[in-house]
Amino acid sequence: MPLSKHLTRWIMASVAEHFDARRQGLTMFVEGQLRETKTLKDFIELRVDGPYLTELSNDYWEVFIEINILVQSAQDQINYHRIYASVGIVTAAFEHIIQIFRIGKELADDGTLVGCMRLKGDKDARERIQTNHFGQVEPETGIFQSSVEGHYVMELHE
């Protein structure tokens, strides 16, 4: 049996729910979502690359994804560390396991568990939660940006 045509959507929806539940008051957008950010001092944006699929044996798959969260904070003369506080919240949300459920509004979306994505951790292969600070992106805007990225893998028998 081939992989479900819904797998990519289920992964995205489950990852979005996971991070939304752990954002601790930060406004979160999903890449591609319409948004108005001019009045926000802080926000995060979730992006998922993949899934990258490898059939290990007949109908037994390795599912790999990259999760990248952009963190943005406005310059603040009172709290110089506000972006680091937001990065800390995001980093803590990269838990060892993210459960993938059949969620959505289609008939196949019965809410059952598809599987568990495991955070990869191998410093020699650069598989780790990785934070990049870009600093003040444009001097005239007073906007600071960082990103937090982690890679997850799941084995799936279809």
Model confidence over 65-106: pLDDT tens digits? 999 999 999 988 788 889 999 999 999 999 999 999 999 999
Question: Does the residue 33 lie in any domain?
Answer: yes
Cα 60 to Cα 155: distance, rounded to the nearest angstrom: 7
Question: Does the residue 1 lie in any domain?
Answer: no
Supply the range of the domain harboring residue 125: 7-157
Quickly state the pLDDT bin for 2 (edges 50, 70, 90). Answer: low
Question: Does the residue 97 lie in any domain?
Answer: yes
Number of domains into which the chain is organized:
1
Sign of the dihedral defined by the CA atoms of residues 12, 18, 23, 25, in that order: positive
Q: Is the pLDDT of residue 1 over 70?
A: no
pLDDT per residue over 6-60, tens digit each? 999 999 999 999 999 999 999 999 998 888 888 899 999 999 999 999 999 999 9
Q: What pLDDT shows up at residue 77?
A: 79
At 14, which CATH number?
Answer: 3.30.2000.10
Reference 115, options 130, 137, 88, 97; nearest CA is 97
Question: Does the residue 20 lie in any domain?
Answer: yes
Question: Does the residue 2 lie in any domain?
Answer: no
Cα 43 to Cα 54: distance, rounded to the nearest angstrom: 34
Q: What pLDDT shows up at residue 75?
A: 86
Q: What pLDDT shows up at residue 140?
A: 80
